[in-house]
Amino acid sequence: MTLIPLGEARGYVVERCPPRSPVARPIADALGCVLAAPVVAQERVPPFAGSAMDGYAVRAQDVLRARADAPVRLRVVGTLAAGGASETEVGAATALRIMTGAPIPDGADAVVIVERTAPDGDDGVLIQEAVQPGQNVRLAGSDVDVGTEVVSLGTVLGPGHLGVLASVGVRRPLVVPRPRVGVISTGDELVDDDRPLEPGQIRESNRPMLLGMVRRAGFEAVDLGTVRDDERLIERALHEGAATCDALITSGGVSMGDFDIVKVVLGRVASMRWMQIAIRPAKPFAFGVLDGTPVFGLPGNPVSSMVSFALLARPGLRRMAGHRSLDLPGVPAVAAAGLERKADGKVHFVRVRCRWNGSGFSAEPVVGQGSHQLAASAGANGLAVLPDGLGVPAGDPVTVVLLDDPFAIA
């Protein structure tokens, strides 16, 4: 089978992962979702002119000449807290004690902050500073006016956006729902718990990893368990998964072995494309559609599974979730050690620890680059991209695809 370029495989996947239909979601569930329709404010924020400070609402003209050494006395006609509404008007030579967030009473046009005042007798206050009309007043609509587009189509909703939606009374924005992604491991050799291993058995590790990668990428992860290399069982698990999830990820059974049963079953029940991609690790990969549900067939080798999720499944799932930017970010870095390789027609993705060194990123390969050496790769936060050739000598530039936050590395 001829090797195909990564870009071709990725393009094939992404094209077959259309964005899901938008739904109205409570804002509490919408963090990280992509907004499917612009939100235009139907209300002003703030809804009324209110005080920006704790102090006294006054008529600016009454305190024109107030100074610390020549205060102006006003009569206090009441107190107003946030949430209240005053019926008392502020007339000539009067003031209303007011708290931050309370509406400015009729007649008043400015607020003197409490620090520039002193009580005077039972019903008076000494104003020690002049204020301009409008000072310490937040005007109605000064944050958001009616008709303003507050969050645009395609925005990935962050915490601030959720607050803005709430501020204009939008409780259920229209978003692209996160895909529910089912993860299935396959293999007769796999043991799911802590029982002693029989000869030939290994402990299953891809499912916890892939479920974590799904969740980390912002999707809903559904654990569909480990299935033995049995055609009937695998077929049933796949159909059940396709019926309950928006996308399926399988690990194992997609390469050229005699017992690569996932390949046999998917070849029969789904429209699949089997690929050998010109990358290392993660050469074998399958993608197809089963009962309308995209299926990502990842290789069983744990590091290959990790890399093919990052480079192939994640972009497809992000497209389903309505994202426009699909790929993990690539940053320029400098090789902290030589990243040697042989020419073999493939692009190599070397697992590295990528760190900020004060002026740029450095990339240091982890020790243990075998596709079964998950322990080493787990400590990596990036994939150094080595195009076909002889690699990158220490000190030379290299692009690193970030799997994780490079500032969070220990």
The stretch among 32-40, 139-147, 182-190, 194-202 that binds Mg ion (CB under 5 A) is 182-190
User: CB-wise, 187 or 294, nearer to Mg ion?
Assistant: 187
Q: Closer to ligand AMP at the Cβ: 179 or 252?
A: 252
* Least distance to ligand AMP, CB of residue 211, Å: 11
In angstroms, the Cα distances linking 269 to 154, 224, 234, 264 are 35, 19, 11, 9
Contact status: 297 vs ligand AMP (CB under 6 A): no
187 interacts with Mg ion by CB under 5 A: yes
What CA–CA distance (Å, rounded) separates 151 from 134?
A: 29
Query: CB under 8 Å, gap of 24 or more: what pairs does 303-308 form?
Result: 303/351, 303/370, 303/371, 303/372, 303/373, 303/374, 303/377, 304/371, 305/206, 305/209, 305/210, 305/251, 306/209, 306/213, 306/374, 306/377, 307/279, 307/281, 307/282, 307/349, 307/383, 308/282
Q: Note whether 303 binds ligand AMP by CB under 6 A.
A: no
**Residue at shortest CB range from ligand AMP:** 300
Under rule CB under 6 A, residue 302 binds ligand AMP: yes
Based on the shown chain and the rule CB under 6 A, indicate whether residue 155 belongs to the binding site for ligand AMP.
Answer: no
Q: Which of 86, 94, 117, 206 binds ligand AMP (CB under 6 A)?
A: 206
Return the residues of window 46-75 that contact Mg ion according to CB under 5 A.
Answer: none
How far apart are CB 210 and ligand AMP at their closest, in Å? 8
Sorted by sequence, the CB contacts under 8 Å of residue 258 that are 6+ apart come out as none
| Alpha carbon 351 to chain centroid, angstroms | 23
Task: Report whether the peptide linkage leading into residue 281 is cis, meaning its omega lies within 30 degrees of zero.
Answer: yes
Counting contacts by CB under 6 A, is residue 187 touching ligand AMP? yes
Nearer to ligand AMP (CB atom), residue 186 or residue 293 = 186
Q: Distance between CA 281 and CA 337 in Å, rounded? A: 20
Number of amino acids touching ligand AMP (CB under 6 A): 19
Answer for which of 185, 293, 369, 381 binds ligand AMP (CB under 6 A) is 185
Instruction: Assess 252 for contact with Mg ion (CB under 5 A).
Output: yes
Partnered with residue 185 across adjacent β-strands are 226, 251
CA distance 385 to 332: 10
Give the interface segment with Mg ion, choosing from 87-95, 99-107, 237-245, 250-258 (CB under 5 A): 250-258
- How near is the Cβ of 237 to ligand AMP at its closest, in Å? 14
| Position 205 contacts ligand AMP (CB under 6 A) | yes
Q: What is the nearest approach in angstroms of Mg ion to the Cβ of residue 405?
A: 33
Q: Which does 251 bind (CB under 5 to 8 A by kind): ligand AMP, Mg ion, none?
A: ligand AMP
**Measured from the CB atom, is 84 or 368 closer to ligand AMP?**
368
Contact 253, 184 (CB under 8 A): no
Are the beta carbons of 339 and 365 closer than 8 angstroms? yes
Residues 73/78/84/85 CA torsion (nearest 10 deg): -80
Task: Give the nearest distance from C-beta 374 to ligand AMP in angstroms.
Answer: 8
Among 301, 362, 369, 377, binds ligand AMP (CB under 6 A): 301
We find the least distance from the C-beta atom of residue 308 to ligand AMP, in angstroms, to be 11
Tell me the C-alpha to C-alpha distance, in Å, between residue 391 and each of 307, 346, 349, 372: 19, 12, 11, 22
Q: At what angle do helices 231-244 and 261-269 cross, to 10 degrees?
A: 60
Lookup: tokens for 4: 């195909």
CB of 355 to ligand AMP, least distance (A): 29
Burial of 208-239, coded b for 16+ CB within 10 Å and e otherwise, reads ebbbebbeebbbebbebebbebeeeebbebbb
Does residue 190 bind ligand AMP (CB under 6 A)?
yes
User: Which residue of 54, 62, 109, 204 would you call a contact of ligand AMP, by CB under 6 A?
Assistant: 204
In total, the chain counts a number of residues equal to 410
Q: Write out the binding residues for ligand AMP, residues 242-271 only, by CB under 6 A.
A: 251-253, 255, 257, 260
Which of ligand AMP, Mg ion, none does 288 bind, CB closer than 5 to 8 A by kind? none
97, 47, 18, 1: which is closest to 322 by C-alpha? 18
CB closer to ligand AMP out of 23 and 202: 202
User: Residue 256 Cβ, how far from ligand AMP at the closest point, in Å?
Assistant: 9
51 binds, among Mg ion, ligand AMP, none (CB under 5 to 8 A by kind): none
255: which strand partners? none
Residues at the interface with Mg ion (CB under 5 A): 187, 252-253, 300
